[in-house]
């Protein structure tokens, strides 16, 4: 089953992405563009949306 999760920036800018992912496995950690910080930073999965 898939779930919708929020990926929060580690740059503490408050920016986040929403993604769909499978329920299995560990939490996601991805390098993404943070438009507030204007650079690529690590995004960490923090919780799911309804």
Encoding tokens for residue 40? 């690529």
pLDDT of res. 50: 65
**Are the C-beta atoms of 5 and 28 separated by less than 8 Å?**
yes
**Are the C-beta atoms of 21 and 14 separated by less than 8 Å?**
no
Average pLDDT, the chain: 92
pLDDT, tens digit, for every residue of 19-30? 999 888 889 999
Residue 44 CB neighbours (<10 A)? 14
- Reported pTM: 0.85
pLDDT, tens digit, for every residue of 6-47? 999 999 999 999 999 988 888 999 999 999 999 999 999 997
- CATH T-level fold of 2-48: Rubrerythrin, domain 2 (2.20.28)
CA–CA distance, 38 with 20 (Å, rounded to integer): 24
Query: Of 34, 36, 37, 2, whose CA–CA distance to 19 is shortest?
Result: 2
């Amino acid at each position: 089953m898939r779930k919708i999760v929020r990926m929060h920036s580690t740059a503490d800018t408050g920016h986040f992405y929403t993604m769909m992912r499978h329920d299995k496995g560990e939490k996601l950690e991805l390098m993404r563009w943070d438009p507030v910080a204007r650079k690529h930073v690590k995004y960490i999965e923090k919780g799911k949306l309804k």
